[in-house]
Structure 1
Amino acid sequence: MFLHLIDRKTAIEFGLKKFFTGEKCNLGGVSERSTKNSACRCKYHLDIKRLNSKKRYVNKKDDIRQQQKQYSEMNKAKMNDASLRYYSRNKEKINSRKKIHRLKNIDSIKSKALEYRNRNKEKIAKKDKERYDRLKFLGLLKEKRAKYYSENREAILNKNRGFQKTWRQANKDKLRDGKQKRRAAKLQATPSWYSELDSFVFTEAYLLSKDREILTGIKWEIDHMIPLQAENVCGLHVWNNFQVIPSFLNQSKRNKMIYCNPFDWLREILDGCTC
């Protein structure tokens, strides 16, 4: 880098902050000097300055932090503006650093987040409720959920599968009891006039679910439009009570009186579609 020769007096007259004489400093460096105190800015002096600053910080850590805190409180607007300006200039750099830091320290970040949640359960629950109420009031909750689900569908499904697998392994007795109860309810819901037509429709519905699974890439199941074990009514295991719907809808339906008419489930999907 080429520097113009200029002495300190002339630099001060022109209002410059630095001057350059081309002479070596006491450490053998050649660089600009400050007009304020003639301090050399060569790499040797800068290294010494940096080292002294570190030592000073270590020795007076609490005092320095207190001073910084006081300054921040007194100059909040100024600090915020400076932070915004710095972020706008170095957005990509900051984000890349954050990403690298997260990848390197993902375990410690998760553990700290978990500790914070355990310490502040009530506070977090209160904030979540306030946010939920606000979104509900604005009518954005359903739209936000649909958007989030469409963007993170695979991750949500994988997470749910993991939870289900863990629950099944931990609750084998409950699962067995539920299956027995379901089997008994199905037998009870099968009328005496259950005929070849009912059996044929059930088989066709099963084959249709497999075809749809191949075409769409998601699991489909045979659902009873009127549930076999609803709270107030019990549907029958007959041909006109069968429908083939996506597995996630069937799992969410359980024994609720929803999707009780043909294509109600399709309307639900179309209403929640954000495309």
Structure 2
Amino acid sequence: MEIVRLAPKHLPAFLTLAAGEGWISDHWEFAFLLEAFPDGCFAGLRAGEPVAFITSVKYGTSGWIGNLLVRPDQRRQGFGRLLMERARAALAAAGAETVWLTASAAGKPLYETLGFTEIDRVGRWCGRGRGANFHLADESLSLAEMAAVDLAGWGDRRERLLATLRLRGALARGERGFLLAQQWPLGIQFGPWCGHDETEAALLFGRALVGIDTDTPVFLDVPERNEVASLLVRAADFTLRGWNSLMYAGQRPDYRPALVYALASTGGMG
């Protein structure tokens, strides 16, 4: 397999493979990753045709690996391991001391052999809005304020990601936290949702739900170790659709799950 830098011409094959896995990926995510950390995004070619992909992105002294995709007929040949090694080498060369990823049950054993350790599990919860129409108020909050709250939960500064997501979503803010609602073709994603106060976090969740009509699907990725978030989604009649492992390699991160109510993205960016 020839490994090359991921490029816009690979997007159709990338999205096709992602859709086949049931992943939520879009053009904006692909563009963000290529702009934010092009040195860590690769395609694997066989006879000039892309058959495997990996993306990564760096925030401060940490990085995320996401979107490891291998075409079904090309699996069990070591391509995933090769791409992982390339992405991790790129992150290390850029100064990343901690590397994150989310893993399915099928992928977790591979990542464990590569030195990754589970630090939490992330549940995909799905429900519906509780309002009459989409009218979630878009409230002002500076990027610096958002980054400070996000830093408290994840232990690193992620302004580039937050700035991109802020342009895509509507924001509900509090004195010590915020919730961002992002529009996707299949519904509304809540995330990032984070904060220092449990009561305020519950109020943000309730305000966001009544800002979305009852016919609109809502989904979010909740850390299992945030017990308050799990209680809130259950109380709102959300259904758990499945689990992924939240894993890291390298230096143990300053991760505080009690402050992280929902992840910022669908897994590949944090």
Band of TM-score, shorter chain = under 0.3
Relative contact order: is structure 1 or structure 2 higher (C-alpha 8 Å, sep ≥ 6)?
2
**TM-score normalised according to structure 1 size:** 0.22
**TM-score normalised according to structure 2 size:** 0.22
Which structure has the larger Rg over C-alpha atoms? Answer: 1
Structure in which a larger fraction of residues adopt strand: 2
Structure in which a larger fraction of residues adopt helix: 1
